[in-house]
Amino acid sequence: MATQKYTQFPCQGCGNRCFLEIQYDTNAIQSVKGNRCDGGKRYAAQQLLRDKISVCLPTIDGRQARVVSTEPIPLQYHTACLEQLAQLVLETPVCKGETIWEDWKTGICVVADENLF
């Protein structure tokens, strides 16, 4: 039997910036609360049930830049990583491959996935 876990993090699925409360196990999400659209459920599944993190971060000029982790991030660090990323606002230009943030617990980097000039 899988152990039930609980986590919270800000959603970046659509721009509403909801704060998600998720109950899950290693195989599936059991419930999502706090979302104001179906994108919150998809975002929670995307972030918790896969190895790499991929999110859009705001820039100071009001645009969005997609960033991705360079390696799989252990599930127990996903929430902390997403909370840290949610606090960032990027300055432009952003160059693909540029390091945006490094997870001090794992040493894994999050880099820009696109150019934004």
Condensed to tens digits (0 to 9), the pLDDT of residues 76-113 reads: 787 888 889 999 999 999 999 999 999 877 788 999 99
Looking at the chain, the domain(s) classified CATH 3.10.530.10 span 51-117
Task: Report d(CA 109, CA 22) in Å as an integer.
Answer: 25
Task: Identify which has the larger pLDDT, 27 or 64.
Answer: 64
CATH number of 51-117, picked from 3.10.530.10, 3.40.640.10, 1.10.3720.10, 3.40.190.10: 3.10.530.10
Q: How confident is the model at residue 26 (pLDDT cuts 50, 70, 90)?
A: low
Burial classification of residue 27, based on how many CB atoms lie within 10 Å of its CB (0-12 exposed, 13-18 middle, 19 or more buried): exposed
pTM for the full predicted model: 0.60
